Amino acid sequence: MRIYVASSWRNQRLTDVVKALRYAGHEVYDFREHDAFDWKQIQPDWERWTPKQFCRNLKHPAAVAGYQRDITALNHSEAVVLVAPCGRSSHLELGIAIGIGIPTAILLAEGERPELSYSAADRLCLSIQEVLDFLTAEQDAQVREETP
């Protein structure tokens, strides 16, 4: 199953989650790989941009290529797993997946603030095993749909 993992660069659990998904036989898109985009490619002091600079730099070829790489992987995924804690981009990716009907799971973290919109996800998980169980059930459901 092709899995898109949405999270933060700073999330300490991300590497372990990606490894567990791959070990279970899933094809995993990890945004940190594949010529990963970093705002520093455009300008080292990007964190001090004005809103106008930010809007302009979203059109920079490196930003456009990074977005296209991620959105293409998202659109071709068979499930999306959001690994909390994470930021705005991850939540937008989850929302896109929900909007286009891709099965979604959120792996919650200790200390996670309650979020009402998380009800839109197909599954809230407390462990990587729960994520794996969800993906197995989704994969089984896809196979049943494809079998005449």
Distance CA 9, CA 15 (A): 10
Q: What is the pLDDT along the chain (148 residues), one digit of tens a residue?
A: 999 999 998 899 999 999 999 999 999 999 888 778 889 999 999 999 999 999 999 999 999 999 999 999 999 999 999 999 999 999 999 999 999 999 999 999 998 888 999 999 999 999 999 999 999 999 888 877 877 7
Q: Which residues, 6+ apart, have CB-to-CB distance to 89 below 8 Å?
A: 6
Report domain 2-35+77-146's class. Answer: alpha beta
Provide the whole-model pTM.
0.92
